[in-house]
Copies of this chain bind each other. A is one copy, B any other.
Amino acid sequence: MDRFLDDLSVGDRFETPTITVDEDELLSFARRFDPQPMHIDRVAAQQGAFKGLIASGWHTAALVMKLNAEAKFLGNTPMLGMGVDSLEWPVPVRPGDVLRVVTEITKITPSKSKPNFGIVSMTSTAYNQDGQIVFVAKPNCWVPRRPASLQSS
């Protein structure tokens, strides 16, 4: 069922399924977008500070987007990211890690200029298989109110 701004409350909490970090994808993402030794060179990474390959932080961010997008918390209602208040990568993500995401709504701000929309502030936290927090993001999304045609009569 599609959900709209009207259906959301501060404190609502959404959990995603898991995804396993694939080493080939980790390498190909980093070769294209973040070609640093710790992300693309198994030997150099093994000898470096992290004792092995770690994912580009932007690959982790993209995997979190994937988990959230595929979970379709709002059904087919479009959610547009306007910005993110902060991003952190407290623990490295490694090949074979199993990630899952918990997203919680922290604030809902009706738009003053466009009364059919509001800004939903969230905290998305990604955990690895050991329960360690590997990624925290605080996105702000633009979410429509329920169209008048769908109001219950």
Query: Size of chain A's interface in residues, with CB distance under 8 A?
Result: 32
With A58-B65, A65-B58, A86-B85 in contact, do A78 and B35 touch (Cβ < 8 Å)?
A: no
Q: Is A14 an interface residue, CB under 8 A from the partner? A: no
Q: Is the CB of A32 within 8 A of B66?
A: yes
Q: Is the CB of A35 within 8 A of B81?
A: no
Q: Is A89 an interface residue, CB under 8 A from the partner? A: yes
Q: Is the CB of B78 within 8 A of A87?
A: no
6 A-B pairs whose Cβ atoms sit less than 8 Å apart in the complex? A48-B78, A57-B81, A58-B58, A83-B87, A84-B84, A87-B87
11 extra interface residue pairs, beta carbon distance < 8 Å, beyond A58-B65, A84-B87: A33-B65, A34-B66, A38-B78, A59-B62, A61-B61, A62-B62, A83-B87, A83-B88, A83-B89, A85-B86, A87-B87
